[in-house]
Amino acid sequence: MGLTHTYDVVIVGAGPAGMCAALYTGRSMLKTAVLERGIPGGELLNTEKLDDWIGEKSILGWELAKKFEEHSREFGAEYVTANVTRVTRREDGMFDTVTDGDDVYRSPAVIVTAGGTPVKLGIPGEMEFSGKGVSYCAICDGAFFKQQVIVVIGGGDAAVEEADFLTRYASKVYVIHRRDEFRASRILQERLRANPKVEVLWSTVPEEIVGDGQGLMSGIVLRNVKTDAVRTLDATGCFVFVGFRPNTGIIDAHFDHDDMGYVLTDTTMQTSIKGLFAAGDLRSQLTRQVTTAVGDATTAAIGVEKYLKARAEGGHAIDPHGSGGYAV
């Protein structure tokens, strides 16, 4: 059996949302534990450079992650290297956040910032050239491919919309789709087809990402699923949009979510499970950026502070939806 540790709030995940939430809960003098299975940073550690973080024209992903961690530690956040297996709400309203070592982190509030995971292609070269040509975020990395030839993999709304977006940077965008028609909405398809920079390669799947011998992507090996013909397409970028899974499996109860499984929250970032808050990429929202993650986290941390204050006083927090009900 593991040990039981008691905190005011437990934060699951140490990406931008988790670290920002820890900074704000620390500022509120809440005893905070941040549980992360690896090095703090989340997707920042998979991002070579950012040019959309306000105040920084360009900053390395790992460098920004280090700044986030150091800043939050200054306000007392405790970082624990642990893999969380489940978050369970007890009958007394407390939460048990359990790790794979059977340690229990007990708290009256939890902020889940476990993010999401882009679905990978699973082909040779994908991991080798991740951040060196292979990307899973057009808004994050598109600007690094100005006047270059790139490919987009996928046929849903995300792939079609992002391919169109990427044409503002790239000289040519090839959309690779395994079927002979898109699954994307009609309006997005029409917009893409009207774009002169786009060429769609139907009934085609990627087989391998290849490099230039200096660590950067230089091309992609493609196979036509109808003819089995194989070709190598010269391209310096590959954007993968074949799916994204929110990491919500650790929540050990039903919670309100959208059709894609993303967590629904109220305006304080509280989920349908009282005392459980969510921030960042696993939350249902329009876009998923570092800036939106830290915005969510700020709200969640302040929401937690108000929730705990009301709980301690034995009162009720005002329903953020203004329905006259209560959030506690």
CATH of the domain at 222: 3.50.50.60
11 inside domain? yes
Most confident of 190-204, 241-255, 307-321: 190-204
Cα 82 to Cα 36, 156, 178, 198, 306: the distances in Å are 6, 35, 39, 44, 28
pLDDT of residue 326: 31
199 lies in the same domain as 284: no
Give dist(CA 41, CA 143) in Å, integer: 22
Which of these ranges, 47-56, 177-186, 277-286, has the smallest mean pLDDT? 47-56
pLDDT band, very low/low/confident/very high, at 322 (cuts 50, 70, 90): very low
Structural domain containing residue 174: 134-240
pLDDT band, very low/low/confident/very high, at 315 (cuts 50, 70, 90): low
100 lies in the same domain as 159: no
Q: Which amino acid makes up residue 270? A: Q
236 lies in the same domain as 260: no
Q: Which two tokens stand for residue 43?
A: 């997707």
Query: Closest by alpha carbon to 162, among 186, 133, 191, 132?
Result: 191
Number of Cβ within a 10 Å radius of residue 264: 14
- The string of pLDDT tens digits covering residues 223-282 is 999 999 999 999 999 999 998 889 999 999 999 999 889 999 999 999 999 999 999 999
Q: At what angle do helices 16-27 and 61-74 cross, to 10 degrees?
A: 20
Q: Is a pLDDT exceeding 80 seen at residue 47? A: no
**Helix runs in the chain, H state only:** 16-27, 61-74, 138-141, 157-166, 186-193, 290-312
pLDDT of residue 318: 44
H or E stretch at 222: strand 217-224
Q: Is a pLDDT exceeding 90 seen at residue 181? A: yes
234 lies in the same domain as 248: no
pTM above 0.85, yes or no: no
When divided into structural domains, the chain yields a total of: 2
- The string of pLDDT tens digits covering residues 10-39 is 999 999 999 999 999 999 999 999 999 999
Q: Which of the residues are catalytic?
A: 137, 140-141
Give dist(CA 281, CA 46) in Å, integer: 15
322 inside domain? no
Q: Which whole number is the average pLDDT over 32-50? A: 87
